[in-house]
Amino acid sequence: MLFPKDKMQVVTSYQGRTSDEGYLVLDLAKVDLEGVGRVYIDLADVSRLQKKKGEEADIARRTRDLLSLNDE
């Protein structure tokens, strides 16, 4: 079974621990896995998820900087 891309995400923290590489999260809540013995995940998809997460973090940082009331 190829795991659906829309059910994967990369997060940088889990249970109070952080990772520069991130954690791959597979959302199994709505995925029908009956009879599935193996799940295949394309590592290119993982790389894209990590890149997207990095871009989101950069956008959040820039937004905080723009909204900052601190005068430098």
Residue ranges of the domains in the chain? 5-67
Report the DSSP beta bridge partners of residue 9: 25
> Is the pLDDT reported for residue 11 higher than 60?
yes
Question: Model pTM?
Answer: 0.56
Q: What is the mean pLDDT of residues 2-19?
A: 85
In tens, the pLDDT along 16-67 reads 988 877 888 888 887 777 877 777 788 788 888 888 888 888 888 888 888 8
**Close Cβ partners of 69 (under 8 Å, ≥ 6 residues apart):** none
Residue 69 has pLDDT above 70, yes or no: no
Please give the pLDDT value at position 38.
73
